[in-house]
Amino acid sequence: MAQYAISIISWEYFYILIEHHGERALAISNTLRNIFGLFGVFSWAFASTTNSMVSNIIGQGRQDEVLPLVRRIVSISFSFSLFIFILLVWKPEWFLSFYQQGDDFVQDAIPVVYVVSIALLMMSFGTIWLNAVTGTGNTKVNLVIELITIVIYCTYVYLVLEYWNLPITWGWGSEWVYWLSMFSMAFVYMKSGKWKNKVI
């Protein structure tokens, strides 16, 4: 519960800073949030599956099969996201045209679409590895990873959007920071093997 609360608060913080950049920036960000949420469903579904399957095979005493399982799920998740990435990058204006905001809006939003498209690829493996940690039953490690990631994320968005006042394209680069930070810590923890023989 704390983890989800932290994520929501950080997301709200991001949008407060985006709002300081004007109505156009906010409109673009709301549009990209919808696109990110729509296509992110696939990664979240695989992440939930990872959580359940990792927990299940650890419960069966098959700890040695955890990492190969996670890698297989990552490959499937990444394949789906790669297909979506290609569609978004190939015809970003087509997706943006559904929002009927005009040509200027579309042109301003296209660079952000590219950033978000790459973030979807990062999410496709970052969220899988985080949920693998959840599946081991070590919720404290999971929460620590989330807390550190959010601190890094909020620091980045403050510096980029508020302190340096850079364009929102840079602000959306926070998704890269978020997923890479999360992935790095979760991956290192899973590879360390410290979760093995833990009672769930």
The pLDDT of residue 28 is 94
Which pLDDT band, with edges at 50, 70 and 90, does 199 fall under?
Answer: very low
The lowest-confidence range among 82-86, 95-99, 183-187 is: 95-99
The lowest-confidence range among 45-54, 94-103, 151-160 is: 94-103
| Mean pLDDT, residues 126-141 taken together | 93
d(CA 142, CA 150): 12
Which pLDDT band, with edges at 50, 70 and 90, does 162 fall under?
Answer: very high
SS3 readout for the chain: CHHHHHHHHHHHHHHHHHHCCCHHHHHHHHHHHHHHHHHHHHHHHHHHHHHHHHHHHHHCCCHHHHHHHHHHHHHHHHHHHHHHHHHHHHCHHHHHHCCCCCHHHHHHHHHHHHHHHHHHHHHHHHHHHHHHHHHCCCHHHHHHHHHHHHHHHHHHHHHHHHHCCCCHHHHCCHHHHHHHHHHHHHHHHHHHCCCCCCCC
pLDDT over 70 at 16, yes or no: yes
Which pLDDT band, with edges at 50, 70 and 90, does 200 fall under?
Answer: very low
pLDDT over 90 at 70, yes or no: yes
| Mean pLDDT, residues 75-94 taken together | 94
The pLDDT of residue 101 is 78
Which pLDDT band, with edges at 50, 70 and 90, does 8 fall under?
Answer: confident
The pTM for the full model equals 0.92
